[in-house]
Chains A and B, each alone.
Chain A
Amino acid sequence: MKFSAISLFANALSGHKKWPSQFPNKEPKKEYDVIIIGGGAHGLGAAYYLASKYGIKNVAVLEKGWIGGGNTGRNTTIIRSNYLFDESAALYDHAVDLWDGLSQELNYNVMFSKRGVLMLAHNVHDVQSFQRHVYSNRLNNVDNRWLTPEECKEFCPPLDISSSRRYPVMGGALQMRAGTARHDSVAWGYARAASKLGVDIIQNCEVTGIRRDAFGNVEGVETAKGYLKSKKVGVSAAGNTSVVMEMAGLRFPLESYPLQALVSEPIKPVFPCVVMSNAVHAYISQSDKGELVIGAGTDQYTSYSQRGALHLQEHNLMSICEIFPIFKRMRMLRSWGGVVDVTPDRSPIVGKTPVGGLYVNCGWGTGGFKATPGAANMLAYTIAHNEPHKINAPFNLDRFIGGRLIDEAAAAAVAH
Chain B
Amino acid sequence: MLLIHCPYCKEKRPEIEFAYAGEAHIVRPDAIAQSEMTDEEWSKFMFIRNNFRGEHAERWWHNAGCNMFFNAIRNTKTDKFVMTYKMGENRPTKTQIEAAKK
Interface residues of A (CB under 8 A from B): 240, 242-243, 251-256, 300-305, 307, 309-311, 344, 400-403
Which 10 A-B residue pairings sit nearest by Cβ, starting from the closest? A242-B51, A253-B47, A300-B20, A309-B1, A301-B20, A401-B43, A400-B47, A304-B53, A243-B53, A344-B47
CA distance A309 to B42 in the complex (A): 34
- Inter-subunit contact A301/B58 (CB<8 Å): yes
Establish whether residues B76 and A401, one from each chain, have CB atoms under 8 Å apart when the complex forms: no
Please tell me which one of the listed residues B15, B20, B50, B76 contacts residue A304 in the complex, with CB atoms under 8 A apart.
B76
Contact between A253 and B76 (Cβ–Cβ < 8 Å)?
A: no
Shortest CB-to-CB span from B13 to chain A, Å, is: 13
User: CA A401 – CA B38 in complex, angstroms?
Assistant: 9
Among B2, B19, B44, B56, contact of A302 (Cβ-Cβ < 8 Å): B56
Q: Which of B42, B52, B53 has the most CB of A within 10 A?
A: B53
- Which residue of chain B has the shortest Cβ distance to A254 in the bound complex? B51
Q: Which residue of A lies closest to B77 (CB)?
A: A304
Q: List 26 A-B contacts (CB under 8 A).
A: A242-B53, A243-B51, A251-B48, A251-B49, A252-B48, A252-B49, A252-B51, A253-B48, A254-B49, A255-B23, A255-B51, A300-B20, A301-B20, A301-B74, A302-B58, A303-B76, A303-B79, A304-B76, A304-B77, A305-B78, A309-B1, A311-B15, A311-B16, A400-B46, A400-B47, A403-B39
Q: Is the CB of A309 within 8 A of B53?
A: no
A217 → B minimal CB distance (Å): 21
Shortest CB-to-CB span from B7 to chain A, Å, is 17
Complex Cα–Cα for A240 and B52 (A): 10
Tell me the chain B residues, 39-75 only, with Cβ under 8 Å from chain A: 39-40, 42-44, 46-53, 56, 58, 74
The answer to whether A256 touches B1, judged by C-beta atoms less than 8 angstroms apart, is no
B20 contact set on A, CB distance < 8 A = 300-302
**A242, A251, A301, A401: residue with the most chain B Cβ atoms closer than 10 Å:** A301
Q: 16 more A-B contacts (CB under 8 A) besides A251-B50, A254-B51, A309-B2? A: A242-B52, A242-B53, A251-B48, A252-B48, A252-B49, A255-B23, A300-B15, A301-B74, A302-B20, A302-B76, A305-B77, A307-B79, A309-B1, A344-B47, A400-B48, A401-B43
Name the A residues within 8 Å of B43 (CB-CB).
253, 400-401
Q: A240-B53, A304-B53 are in contact. Are A310 and B1 (CB under 8 A)?
A: yes
Please tell me if the beta carbons of B15 and A309 are within 8 angstroms of each other in the complex.
yes
Cβ-defined contact, A311 with B76, below 8 A = no
Alpha-carbon distance A303/B79, docked complex (angstroms) = 7
Cα distance, A344 to B39, chains bound together (Å) = 16
